[in-house]
Chains A and B, each alone.
Chain A
Amino acid sequence: MNEELRAIWQTFFNWVMGIGPRPENEVIPPEPPPDLPFTQKPRDKYSRFHEATLKERYNQWLEIHGLHLFSVLYAGLSVLTCVVIVSLLLATVAELPPFGHERNPANNEVIRRYVEHGGHETGAQNIVAGLILDYRAFDTFGESAVLFTAAVSVLMLLGASRSNKPDDGESPLRHHHAFSKNDTILRGVATLSIPAILMMGCVVVINGHLSPGGGFSGGAILSTALILAANAYGFGRVHDFFSERTFIVSSSTALMIYALSKGYSFFTGANHIHSIIPKGTIGDILSGGLILPLNICVGLIVAGTLYGFYALFSEGDI
């Protein structure tokens, strides 16, 4: 019994490792001529009878069926994962407090504090502006820094390769200026609407502490004016007053002003030193302490960054 088991095990082991008995009719191929370089000599394994190991058989099978099997398995598993995650989350959502109820745990003392004291503590009529640019101003500073970092990374990735290439004009991968050459309708509409868009953007930025809006949304509106100008008159015309240098200088200056002024404000506030920044009366344009200048800084960064993204992706250069 033990002998039999051992024999079966030996056979199985040989099958897995590919060391079977040598068959009678094996033809040993002639030795290769000796002048062949070393690597081109067929390896010993292939010159003799060779039984495929389990691994080799698996690899062979994998080469034929593997890709199909993998794609089916991958799709199935990803759908399964998503279904599981969505059903877990839906089960959680079903346990959440009812939508829009005033006694929900999210409406706690933090919110009461922000709403009841936000007005006279920050001087801003818009509570959200007071929240993001006064109570949580370092958070917004981080956001602006993230945006600036992203713009610099994209500039590094897309701008550098452009300047290294020999200047042969058209890059084959980018179809710029395809539709904007001397388009009378586009130019007319742009001439009419760009001043209005710029004014709208400025209003949204400057009234950020009085009405919905602020640096981020106003900056996005300003950048659309720049993008429209670039499409209508070509990037060269925009480049005359908004180049890479302008972008870097204006964004860095805005970030610096933000950091210094808000640092001063936080330092004096935390140490109970009298701050020289006046709060003004709620509802005036010149109110809200630092919120107006900070909104302008953020607006500059956002406008420059979004236009920079557009210019880099379509032109490869700001």
Chain B
Amino acid sequence: MLEKLLLNHYEAAAVILSGIGLTNLLLQRNLIKKIIGLNIMDTAVYLFLAAKGYVEGRAAPILIENGSGGWLNSSSIYVNPVPAGLVLTGIVVSVSVTAFALALTLKLYESYGTLNIDEALMKMTEEQKDIEARIDEAEEEVLA
């Protein structure tokens, strides 16, 4: 198994990177660090796709002139162009998701003054209890 992993070392590195990102996402209590973990997982996916598209000894998929005004378009001289397009999609979606998540985090920080998810949740629970207590008081007043 180890030889096979060494043969596919880019893919193995991508998988380990994605594991690091997932651990980061689960263990970090700071929301910004959680988003960084998500980005590490994205990067692992790009690495995996780029590695899958590579073919030994071939050129980048940009047509080369053949010297007599034509273009070399034999499929045996270029690497796979599809993963490049897929990685592009991945990058765009990752940028969008990261920006949206960071905006939500900023709003959370403005409301609760903390980036720690546990502290923010505790403050949320306290607020909820406060509101419930106030509702109870109001109900009593109405009953009285």
Residues of A within 8 A of B (CB): 37-39, 75, 78-79, 81-83, 85-86, 89-91, 93-96, 98-102, 104, 106-107, 110-112, 114-119, 125-128, 131-132, 136, 139-140, 143-144, 146-147, 149-151, 153-154, 157-158, 161, 173, 210-212, 216, 282-283, 306, 309, 312-313
Extra contacts, 9 of them, besides A82-B23, A94-B4, A117-B73 (Cβ < 8 A), are A78-B27, A102-B55, A106-B82, A110-B82, A119-B63, A125-B71, A128-B62, A131-B85, A143-B89
Shortest C-beta distance, A69 to chain B (Å), equals 15
B103 at the interface (CB under 8 A from A): yes
Q: What count of chain B residues pass the 8 Å CB interface test?
A: 61
A309 contacts B73, CB within 8 Å? no
A contact residues around B71 at 8 Å (CB): 119, 125, 282-283
**Contact between chains at A127 and B26 (CB < 8 Å):** no
A117 to B74, CA, bound (A): 9
Q: Is the CB of B26 within 8 A of A86?
A: no
Closest 3 CB pairs of A and B: A150-B96, A86-B19, A78-B26
B134 located at the interface, meaning its Cβ lies under 8 Å from any Cβ of chain A in the complex: no
Q: Is the beta-carbon distance between A212 and B62 smaller than 8 angstroms?
A: yes
Query: Assuming the A-B contacts A86-B16, A143-B89, A212-B62, are A112 and B75 also in contact, with contact meaning beta carbons closer than 8 angstroms in the complex?
Result: yes
| Bound: A78/B24 CA distance, A | 10
Q: Report B-chain residues with C-beta under 8 Å of the C-beta of A118.
A: 73, 81
Q: Which of A104, A144, A210, A306 has the most CB of B within 10 A?
A: A104
Contact across chains for B26 and A153 when beta carbons are under 8 A apart? no
CB within 8 Å for A143 and B88 given contacts A85-B19, A115-B75, A309-B99? yes
Interface-centre pick from B26, B62, B76 (highest chain A CB count, 10 A): B62
List 19 interface pairs A-B (beta carbons < 8 Å), by A numbering.
A78-B26, A78-B27, A90-B16, A93-B11, A93-B15, A94-B4, A96-B11, A111-B81, A116-B74, A125-B62, A127-B81, A128-B84, A140-B88, A146-B92, A147-B92, A150-B97, A212-B62, A282-B63, A306-B95
